[in-house]
Structure 1
Amino acid sequence: MKKLLQIAALLLLIYSYAFAKTSTEPLDSIEEIVSVFQSGSSKELAKFFDQGIDININGNQGDYSRSQAELVMRDFFRKFPPMGFQLVHKGSNSDQVINYIGNYESEDGVFRVFIRGKREEGEIKVYSLDIVKGANKN
């Protein structure tokens, strides 16, 4: 019986360590968002959206729920399929507020993408997305 308890305790310890290791690593990072822009997946991008998000695409601005924003981005990716995305600036005002700037490339040209968000429990929650056509690559 004592040996069974030791084995159970060991398994519990291993499980706890594995769970703690994965839960302390950031689940969502800017590298994942870059990858999503490169693939053009509105569904994957929506996972990073806050409950409400402000999206401005070439002056067409609106406040959307996460599901509405997914549809807006789906339309954008359909009209302008991705050829590449490069992050050109990482910034933050504090540990919680993040600002990123990237260049989204499609056949129709380059778009400058401004991503504003916050960190909550190790995850990035995007609350503002501005996409402007005709930006310089640099």
Structure 2
Amino acid sequence: MTLTLSLFLSVFLYLQPIFGDEVKMDSIDPVISAIDGGSSGDLAKFFDTSISLNVNGQQGEYSKNQAEIVIKDFFKKNPSLGFKVVFRSETNPSLISYIGDYQSTESSYKVFIRVSQQGENLKIYSLDFVKA
């Protein structure tokens, strides 16, 4: 009985970090869906009050509303054919970076998303669409 309990506890503790990462990765899913669907409104829900934005060379610090307009224009000119995250980096539990591939009818883009974890919410503080 004790051996079985010890084995179960060991397996649980070993797998706990794996399950923890899945929960964190799931929290970015609405952002991924918004980019994949080309929805500036859904994406803007995750913007911090101000955001560093680089869209195809148009760089600057924008308010949440200004950034939504810039992204809306980008999605209009570059309709989505798909988006997927290819890399995730977590140097600090509250700061996470993602790199993704965005495919449009015109070009391919590398997307760099930097988010901060604020309680239960993710806030995008930096977003880059760079032509590949």
Give yes or no for TM over 0.5. Answer: yes
CA shift digits 1:31-65 (9 cap, x unpaired): 11111111111001000000000101122101111
Secondary structure class of the residue paired with 2:65: helix
Q: State the identity %.
A: 47
Secondary structure class of the residue paired with 2:92: coil
Q: In structure 2, how many angstroms separate the alpha carbons of the residues matched to 1:126 and 1:38?
A: 16
Q: In structure 2, how many angstroms separate the alpha carbons of the residues matched to 1:60 and 1:35?
A: 23
Q: In structure 1, how many angstroms separate the alpha carbons of the residues matched to 2:81 and 2:56?
A: 19
Instruction: Give the equivalent residue in structure 1 for 2:89.
Output: 91
1:94 maps to a residue whose letter is N
Q: How big is the alpha-carbon RMSD for the aligned residues of Structure 1 and Structure 2?
A: 1.5
Instruction: Give the equivalent residue in structure 2 for 1:82.
Output: 80
Q: Which runs of 4+ in 1 moved over 4 A?
A: none
Q: Any gaps of 5 or more consecutive residues in structure 2?
A: 1-22
Q: Any gaps of 5 or more consecutive residues in structure 1?
A: 1-24
Q: In structure 1, how many angstroms separate the alpha carbons of the residues matched to 2:89 and 2:120?
A: 17
Instruction: Give the equivalent residue in structure 1 for 2:45.
Output: 47
Q: In structure 1, how many angstroms separate the alpha carbons of the residues matched to 2:27 and 2:69?
A: 22
| Length-normalised TM-score, structure 1 | 0.75
Q: In structure 1, how many angstroms separate the alpha carbons of the residues matched to 2:95 and 2:55?
A: 22
Instruction: Give the equivalent residue in structure 2 for 1:59.
Output: 57
Q: In structure 1, how many angstroms separate the alpha carbons of the residues matched to 2:56 and 2:38?
A: 18
Matches of residues 1-138 of structure 1 in structure 2 within 5 Å? 29-133=27-131, 135=132
| Length-normalised TM-score, structure 2 | 0.79
Secondary structure class of the residue paired with 1:34: helix
Q: In structure 2, how many angstroms separate the alpha carbons of the residues matched to 1:118 and 1:79?
A: 29
Aligned length: 109
